[in-house]
Amino acid sequence: MQITVKLFALMREKAGTDTVPLEVPAGAAVTQALATLVCQYPMLEPYMANTRFSVRMDFVDPNTILAEGDELVLIPPVSGGA
Amino acid sequence: MFRVTTEPLNVQQVNDLVKRPTDGAVVTFDGVVRNNFDGRPVRYLAYEAYAAMAEKKLAEIGAEVQQKFAVGEIAMMHRIGRLDIGESSIVIAVAAPHRHAAFEACAYAMDRVKAEVPVWKKEFFADGADHWVNQN
């Protein structure tokens, strides 16, 4: 199935794109999608340990099962405010 | 009101949004861009957001604050894009019948924003270098 990975901030710059279409097996979890992503974009690997994940605008567990068309958003440590 | 915007923030406007006749206190936090990071001169900042989720998280934090403290209305506005020294990056206004709850709720809301809202800050230094805060 097809999903989309969205990247922000430093990871967006390292990958050179903010959107990565990804083909993953049906019923794949976030962790499987990340493994596929890192194969294609190995420069992202060092940041994964500190990254949180979001699907449908909520933080999700890495074991969350993805659905066709999902947008998996990588959320590096946030630094908003002042 | 909970919003992420590229427009300059109007502190008085956010402050006035939360006023109600039953509330005797409004505490408004104005977060401004400072000219240094640990003493290293900063030229300007750039904020980036996952805007849709950021607005949703701001609203959730607002609801959480209203559950936790004896407060009335709350408004939070976060600016993104390029911000120069002295410009406001975030404004949080909390109204309450009495001042103590408003002070505490405003500080709590800001702490929650710094932990949960998908906004990222990049610092551009006077010496030409730049870096994303907390990401290296």
Residues B55, B119 contacting (CB under 8 angstroms): no
Which pLDDT belongs to residue A61?
96
Those of residues 12-41 in A touching chain B at CB distance below 8 A are 13
Note whether B131 and A10 are within 8 A (CB). Answer: no
Cβ neighbors of B15 (< 8 A, separation 6 or more) are: B26, B28, B91, B93
Count of CB atoms situated within 10 Å of the CB of A50: 11
pLDDT score, position B34? 94
Span B90-119, pLDDT tens digits: 999 999 999 999 999 999 999 999 999 999
| Per-residue model confidence as pLDDT tens digits over B63-87 | 999 999 999 999 999 999 999 999 9
Predicted pLDDT at A10: 96
For residue A42, pLDDT beyond 90: yes
Minimal Cβ distance to B119: which of A10, A47, A78: A78
Per-residue pLDDT, A82: 80
Q: What percent of chain A has pLDDT over 70?
A: 100
Tell whether the model's pLDDT for residue A5 goes beyond 90: yes
**Alpha-helix runs per DSSP H in B1-136:** 11-17, 51-68, 99-116
Structure tokens that stand for A9 in this block: 């901030």
Q: What is the mean pLDDT of chain A?
A: 96
pLDDT of residue B36: 93
Q: Within an 8 Å CB–CB cutoff, is residue B121 touching chain A? A: yes
Q: Taking 80 as the threshold, does the pLDDT of residue B128 lie above it?
A: yes
Task: Give the pTM.
Answer: 0.95
* pLDDT for res B124: 97
The alpha carbon of A67 is separated from its chain's Cα centroid by a whole number of angstroms, namely 14
Residue A79 has pLDDT above 80, yes or no: yes
Judging contacts by C-beta atoms under 8 Å, the chain A residues touching residue B113 are: 80-81
Nearest CB to B118 within list A13, A47, A78: A78
- Residue B135: is its pLDDT beyond 90? no
Residue A14 reports pLDDT greater than 80: yes
Q: For the segment B3-61, what is each residue's pLDDT rounded down to a tens digit?
A: 999 999 999 999 999 999 999 999 999 999 999 988 999 999 999 999 999 999 999 99
Chain A residues in contact with B135 by the CB 8 A cut-off are 9-10, 47, 50, 76-77, 79
Nearest to B134 among A6, A54, A77 (CB): A77
Contacts of A81 in chain B (CB under 8 A): 31, 78, 89-90, 110, 113-114, 117, 119
Q: Give the model's pLDDT for residue B63.
A: 98
Task: Identify the pLDDT of residue B114.
Answer: 96
User: In chain A, whose CA is at the least distance from the CA of B109?
Assistant: A81
User: Largest Cα–Cα distance of chain B, in whole Å?
Assistant: 51
